[in-house]
Chains A and B, each alone.
Chain A
Amino acid sequence: MYRTEPIRSARPRSAARHSPGVLRGVAAALAAAAFLAAAGCAPTGIEGPAGPLRAPAVSRVAASNGALDLIFRANSKADSFTVYWSTSPGVKKESATKLEGVGMVFHHTGLTNGTIYYYLVTAVQGGQESRDFATISGMPVKESERDYPNYKAVIAQPADTFESLAEIHLKDRTKGGVIQDFNNLDDLTPYEAVAIPKKDYAPGGMTPSAYQLVPVLTYHQFSADKGNKMTVPFPQFEKEMKYLQDNGYHVIPLADFVAFMEMKRQVPEKSVVITIDDGWKSFYDYGYPVLKKFGYPSTLFVYTDFPESDAMALSWQQVKELSGNGVDIQCHTKTHRNLKMQKGEEMAEYLKALEQEFGVCKQVMKEKVGVTPRFLAYPYGANNHLVMAMARKAGFQAAFTVQRGSNPFFYSDLLIRRSMIYGGHTEKDFENNLRVSDDRLLK
């Protein structure tokens, strides 16, 4: 029987925390624009519009014995930051202690261990303070972490997430979900101690009674509001991404998933991969801003004859821009032909066609985007043994179909399943594509 809970179902995470659709009842296009503005994304681009001086974002609070370090994210407009601090919550500028001219790191010393310190931070440019401000708190502790041979134990601070802990302590942000699984926690609570395994202890996600599945989702086109089978409207996509967030799924990079398939990497028990096919411009306009808002990695499979061939296609500049912003760009062949041998096609001509579909795609990707693709998505999901063999010869490490279903590690790396998400899919339809464990083949 399929199970949608992780393989350790005896100790599941919390029940789904569904939140009502925030966009319900609002004209979809307006909602899309509002969302994009909130996400700090221009509707048709990656960089946000020039705006007022923003408050700094605190990327981390590092605690130590009698001290706290507030580490700010880069803010290109700010000359410096002003920090107001107090030992009372709800810190007010008027009553708090003020420190001006603070740089990217605020080293606050002489503090009492076990006391919570509250901060309000503004950005300053040309002597003017930002109207926006950030608030954060932290608690100095005599001992903030312990280092063991195979683990670390750390006290979480308010700015921490499982991902940030993974980034800080393992230099690998995508291990956040594994830390969460190891501690069997729903959420990270400030000042709670957390164990961080330094090494994978269950690559491939097997237990004696079940095996892990990883769903790979596939999208094609996006739109502001109206959709059809292959076009997912923006509000639907936003709800689906929020569903993943609210229900404890971890969106992982495709490369991590392939390492899981090779039994070489442990991924979070509720892992999902997001892929987008073809190279439609609507991904740049409506899909990517949502992924950016949620901080989800994604892979765009492009067929190289498509960019700039049509007003609805991405330009190569946009593909490069997406790549520069962390979107993984991979091959979807040269022409998007059905790769099965067609009636009347001679074997020599067929072999040459396959070589070109793979070879030219890789070469053009290298020239136009500066990446060397390692993964292939078969157009229409169509393949046969020779297509797979030729894909391997062309140097593809893994290849993806559109057979619906989630993947255990033991599936063929050249026949990886993906589930297409359609415009008009309900939440239930979406949820049905998120199976993360199974036990049928062990019975």
Chain B
Amino acid sequence: MTSTRSTIRPALAMAAALLILAAGIAGAATANPPATAKPPQDPFGDLFSRQRELAKASEDEADPLRAIAHWQYVLEANPNDATAKAKLPVLRKLAADKAAQYFKEGFAQYEKGNIGPAFKALLKGLAYDPSNQDAVQLIKQKLIGQSLMDYKVEPGDTLASIAEKSKKEGYDDPKLALVIARYNDLNDGQALKPGQVLHVPVLVGVLPKAAPAVASARRGGRAQPAEPAEEPNDYDDAASNAQAGQAKDLLKANKFDEAAKLAGKVLDEDPLNKDAKEVRNAANMGLGQQLLDAKKFEAALNVFGRVDATYPQQKEAVTAARSQIQDSAELSYQEGVRYFLNDDLDNAVKSFEATLKINPNHPQASKDLAVARDTRDKLKRLK
């Protein structure tokens, strides 16, 4: 393992490791010799040196916050450290000056409506003074995007007039005033008080057909509430829904197997796709019925088992398949009994075997199969 970190690691650890090793070797030769690790004069001396190194490295990286933190350690560990004493006020002044310069520039750029330069300057300022919450809030609330605007009620204002004034926030229709009412827990007809501050949710991009409002809101130099960017999303709703639609078409065409497989594929990608879930259940119900009709009872039971237990008729379908398996097995068993009574032991054996294939748990077939086989073999030996 190579690391620049390890170059700063103090000799103490190495010394301790060597002592452990030495103690192990000595221990092999003599009984319980003491493994004495002689710590350096000051066990914290290497840490002190390392913090000095880190302070200098942070200065080299022009990172005053971290340089201050490491020099501060050095000074607290040794209040007489002349370098730390000298460096700290200089670094603190540098950080404060830089922060003030960038914040001033950032707020000024914001006032001019220059969003990009304002953002960059405020961000740089925070690298020197992360405690400036005004800068943090300006970046997060005004420059990155706002979902809520504050509106101070003026004399004569009504909810409808406020909505009218909020067109750039997406209030294209006076009826949308109900959003402001609801958001601020105002009853219909409740009088507004001048000076009262209302929260106005931004509606740009909210309504399915709000494209023109987005366009107008994006004009102008200041940060306007634009629709949240439609970036590629890992949930591909459109693709999943399209495939679920195709599966539905296959279902309508009674292509149950294909429909179930396609719906299953959609659910692998989007396990909560309700359409796909519905299609998969319906398709498996149809496929199970087809298999029942073809007297493929075990296969039918297997397919019904893939349907959600809460799906309508699923339990009945499973019961029906099980019942048909039992009926079919019973028919085969009765046939075997008839062959047996007629001394047709070869066919009796075949029928009992067929019975057990349909229903391996048939209560009588395995016992009767053994008797039939035994009798047949004895008769063959007598012949």
User: A59 in the interface, Cβ–Cβ < 8 Å?
Assistant: no
* Closest residue on chain B to residue A197 by CB atoms: B69
Q: For the complex formed, measure the closest distance between the CB of B206 and the CB atoms of chain A, giving whole angstroms.
A: 5
Count residues of chain B with CB under 8 A from any CB of chain A: 100
Interface size bracket, A side: 35 or more
* Closest residue on chain B to residue A86 by CB atoms: B32
| A95-B31 in contact (CB<8A) | yes
Which residues of A have CB within 8 Å of B68? Answer: 201
Could you say which of B17, B24, B38, B179 has the most chain A C-beta atoms within 10 Å of its C-beta? B179
Q: How far is the CA of A151 from the CA of B36 in the complex (A)?
A: 30
| A442-B271 in contact (CB<8A) | no
| B126-A348 in contact (CB<8A) | no
The stretch among B107-115, B223-231, B323-331, B375-383 that forms the contact with chain A is: B223-231
User: A267 in the interface, Cβ–Cβ < 8 Å?
Assistant: no
| B34-A115 in contact (CB<8A) | yes
CB under 8 Å from chain A, chain B span 280-311: 308-310
Which residues of B have CB within 8 Å of A89? Answer: 20, 23-24, 27, 35
Q: For the complex formed, measure the closest distance between the CB of A72 and the CB atoms of chain B, giving whole angstroms.
A: 23
Q: For the complex formed, measure the closest distance between the CB of B116 and the CB atoms of chain A, giving whole angstroms.
A: 9
A-facing mask of B192-236, CB < 8 A → 1, else 0?
000000010111111110000000000000000101100111110
Which residues of B have CB within 8 Å of A184? Answer: 5, 8, 50, 54
CB under 8 Å from chain B, chain A span 372-412: 379-386, 388-390, 392-393, 401-404, 409-412
Given the contacts A153-B44, A229-B269, A206 and B5 also touching, CB distance less than 8 Å: no
Question: Which of A11, A115, A220 is in CB contact (< 8 Å) with B35?
Answer: A115
Which residues of A have CB within 8 Å of B206? Answer: 341, 384-386
Q: For the complex formed, measure the closest distance between the CB of B234 and the CB atoms of chain A, giving whole angstroms.
A: 5
| B20-A112 in contact (CB<8A) | no
| B32-A112 in contact (CB<8A) | no
Which residues of B have CB within 8 Å of A186? Answer: 1, 3, 5-6
| B147-A386 in contact (CB<8A) | yes
B-facing mask of A147-186, CB < 8 A → 1, else 0?
0111101010000000000000000000000000011111
| A385-B225 in contact (CB<8A) | yes
| A149-B76 in contact (CB<8A) | yes
| A206-B176 in contact (CB<8A) | no
Q: For the complex formed, measure the closest distance between the CB of A171 and the CB atoms of chain B, giving whole angstroms.
A: 20
Given the contacts A90-B24, A220-B271, A380 and B233 also touching, CB distance less than 8 Å: yes
Given the contacts A384-B206, A385-B225, A410-B139, A115 and B43 also touching, CB distance less than 8 Å: no
Q: How far is the CA of A197 from the CA of B32 in the complex (A)?
A: 40
Q: For the complex formed, measure the closest distance between the CB of B200 and the CB atoms of chain A, giving whole angstroms.
A: 9
Q: How far is the CA of A203 from the CA of B199 in the complex (A)?
A: 30
User: A351 in the interface, Cβ–Cβ < 8 Å?
Assistant: yes
Given the contacts A146-B44, A380-B233, A380-B237, A393 and B6 also touching, CB distance less than 8 Å: no
User: B182 in the interface, Cβ–Cβ < 8 Å?
Assistant: yes
Given the contacts A191-B37, A410-B123, A442-B120, A14 and B268 also touching, CB distance less than 8 Å: no
Question: Which of B65, B182, B272 is in CB contact (< 8 Å) with A201?
Answer: B65
Q: How far is the CA of A83 from the CA of B75 in the complex (A)?
A: 42
User: B90 in the interface, Cβ–Cβ < 8 Å?
Assistant: no
Q: For the complex formed, measure the closest distance between the CB of B91 and the CB atoms of chain A, giving whole angstroms.
A: 12
Question: Which of A115, A182, A191, A382 is in CB contact (< 8 Å) with B69?
Answer: A182
User: A367 in the interface, Cβ–Cβ < 8 Å?
Assistant: no
Q: How far is the CA of A316 from the CA of B61 in the complex (A)?
A: 52
User: B275 in the interface, Cβ–Cβ < 8 Å?
Assistant: no
| B272-A278 in contact (CB<8A) | yes
Q: How far is the CA of A299 from the CA of B76 in the complex (A)?
A: 39
The stretch among B127-135, B243-251, B343-351, B361-369 that forms the contact with chain A is: B127-135
Which residues of B have CB within 8 Å of A252? Answer: none
17 residue pairs from A and B, CB less than 8 Å apart: A14-B2, A88-B23, A112-B36, A151-B72, A184-B54, A190-B13, A192-B16, A195-B51, A206-B130, A208-B98, A209-B62, A263-B133, A380-B237, A385-B225, A389-B147, A410-B136, A414-B147
Residues of B within 8 A of A (CB): 1-6, 8-10, 12-13, 16-17, 19-20, 23-24, 27, 31-39, 43-44, 46-47, 50-51, 54, 57, 60-66, 68-70, 72-73, 76-77, 98, 119-120, 123-124, 126-128, 130-131, 133, 136, 139-140, 144-145, 147-148, 170, 175-176, 178-179, 182-183, 199, 201-208, 225, 227-228, 231-235, 237, 268-272, 308-310
Known: A8-B61, A393-B183, A442-B123. 9 other contacts (CB 8 A): A87-B34, A90-B27, A192-B10, A311-B309, A385-B202, A386-B147, A386-B201, A389-B202, A404-B234
Residues of A within 8 A of B (CB): 8, 10-15, 17, 86-90, 95, 112-116, 139, 141-143, 146, 148-151, 153, 155, 182-186, 189-195, 197, 201-204, 206-209, 211, 220-221, 228-231, 262-263, 278, 280, 310-311, 336, 338, 341-343, 347-348, 351, 379-386, 388-390, 392-393, 401-404, 409-415, 420, 441-442
